[in-house]
Amino acid sequence: MTQAARKNAGSWQQMLFAPTNVLRTQRGRRLAMALGGLAAMVLAAIQLWQQLRPHIAIQPEYLVASADMAITPPPEWIHSDVKAAAIRDAALPPKLSILDDRLSERISQAFLLNPWIARVEKVQTFYPARIQVNLIYRRPVAMVEVFGGLLPVDSDAVLLPTEDFSPAEAQHYPRIAGVQSSPLGPLGTAWGDPVVAAGAKLANLLASVWNDLELHRICEYQDHTGNGMRGSLELVTRGGTKFIWGAAPKQEGADEPSASRKLDRLLQWKHDGSLDSVSPADRDLRRSTSPASEIQTTPKN
């Protein structure tokens, strides 16, 4: 094919495909215009909603009385009104709107002001207007003996309100004795003393068997010179018998029996009689076996 022929053929091809290219360009333009129009409509709708939302949010069908919030029922050891305290202390308004963007945050902060609340799991809103607040409560595990009375703490040594406990109720809890410190912060914060922290963990472990074992106090273990052994605990029965427990649960050294093994020994001794009748040689629970059990006897011929 000559150069002139090839040139003419190329011109005819451009003419043949030109309508297709034009159609594609026109479709693209129409699609872009449609998408642009849709985006403009969405933006206009958002702006309109932002303007109308404050007025709609206060309509009766979107409002819930603060006192009508549903919360996880408090456990039996809490006698105060947790919900009323949260509303009062956080100065929540009488009516809450489920359309409030900050509603979950405001409610969570209100309940976290209460020392009984460990955490707020979830704040849910529903239509028709309803609010459900799922709460995790702290559980008391021990009473710390201080000058003038007893102060309750949970398993993390967080200080709890005393007004929820009658003197009779307080007597049923394990006691952490010999504490020389005072709480470092207000209610709802950790005591700040390693002895209290370790004692609270041990009290939590022994809570279900404390009364059955006839135990009375948890103290920091002191050696024969009267010096406290940092991180080591001692159990005292109601009869005054002392057992060297050792480290707090899950803080044992490599050569120390686990907390579960120590507890098994106490339960076995109680099953056999009384902890007060246990031989003094066996009262150091830090030992894997008691000295008495290590004595080997040689049979007579």
Shared domain check, 254 and 133: no
Residue 216 in any domain: the answer is yes
Taken as a whole, the chain contains a residue count of 301
How does residue 227 score in pLDDT terms, banded at 50, 70 and 90? low
- Check whether 267 has a pLDDT greater than 60: yes
**CATH code for the domain in which residue 71 is found:** 3.10.20
b/e burial code for range 240-261 (CB count within 10 A of at least 16 → b):
ebbbbbbbbbeebeeebbebee
How does residue 131 score in pLDDT terms, banded at 50, 70 and 90? very high
Shared domain check, 163 and 278: yes
Tally the domains of the chain.
2
Q: Give CA–CA dist 194/184, Å, rounded.
A: 12
- φ/ψ of residue 150, rounded to 5: -125, 140
Shared domain check, 124 and 148: no
CB atoms within 10 A of CB 198: 23
Q: Give CA–CA dist 164/170, Å, rounded.
A: 10
- Placement of tokens 């246990």 in the chain: 278
Tell me the pLDDT tens digit for each residue of 16-56: 555 566 556 777 677 666 666 666 666 655 554 455 455 45
pLDDT of amino acid 299: 44
How does strand 175-176 pair with strand 140-146?
parallel
Last residue of a domain, one of 77, 104, 137: 137
Residue 50 in any domain: the answer is no
- Placement of tokens 């702290």 in the chain: 138
pLDDT of amino acid 214: 95
pLDDT of amino acid 223: 72
Shared domain check, 277 and 161: yes
Shared domain check, 188 and 84: no
Last residue of a domain, one of 116, 137, 158: 137
User: Of the given ranges (28-42, 132-146, 276-290), which has the lowest mean pLDDT?
Assistant: 28-42
Shared domain check, 67 and 166: no
How does residue 222 score in pLDDT terms, banded at 50, 70 and 90? confident
Shared domain check, 255 and 202: yes
Residue 40 in any domain: the answer is no
Tell me the pLDDT tens digit for each residue of 210-221: 999 999 999 999
- Check whether 167 has a pLDDT greater than 80: yes
Nearest one of 69, 67, 44, 59 to 99, comparing CA atoms: 59
pLDDT of amino acid 97: 92
Residue 27 in any domain: the answer is no
Residue 49 in any domain: the answer is no
How does residue 137 score in pLDDT terms, banded at 50, 70 and 90? very high
Domain carrying residue 77: 61-137
Arithmetic mean of pLDDT, 151-160: 97
Shared domain check, 154 and 117: no
How does residue 4 score in pLDDT terms, banded at 50, 70 and 90? low
How does residue 60 score in pLDDT terms, banded at 50, 70 and 90? confident
Pair 244, 219: CB distance under 8 Å? no
Shared domain check, 233 and 93: no
Residue 127 in any domain: the answer is yes
How does residue 62 score in pLDDT terms, banded at 50, 70 and 90? confident
Q: Give CA–CA dist 277/270, Å, rounded.
A: 9
Q: Give CA–CA dist 56/60, Å, rounded.
A: 9
Nearest one of 213, 222, 204 to 259, comparing CA atoms: 204
Shared domain check, 287 and 202: yes
Task: Return the ∠ at Cα 144 (arms to 141 and 148), rounded to 5°.
Answer: 140
pLDDT of amino acid 18: 54
Shared domain check, 198 and 112: no
Pair 142, 77: CB distance under 8 Å? no
Pair 152, 146: CB distance under 8 Å? no
Cα-Cα end-to-end distance for the chain: 125
Task: Return the ∠ at Cα 174 (arms to 168 and 175), rounded to 5°.
Answer: 90
Last residue of a domain, one of 137, 170, 205: 137
Residue 166 in any domain: the answer is yes
- Check whether 300 has a pLDDT greater than 50: no
**For residue 83, what is the enclosing H or E element?**
helix 82-89
Residue 53 in any domain: the answer is no
Tell me the pLDDT tens digit for each residue of 32-43: 666 666 666 666
Shared domain check, 244 and 165: yes
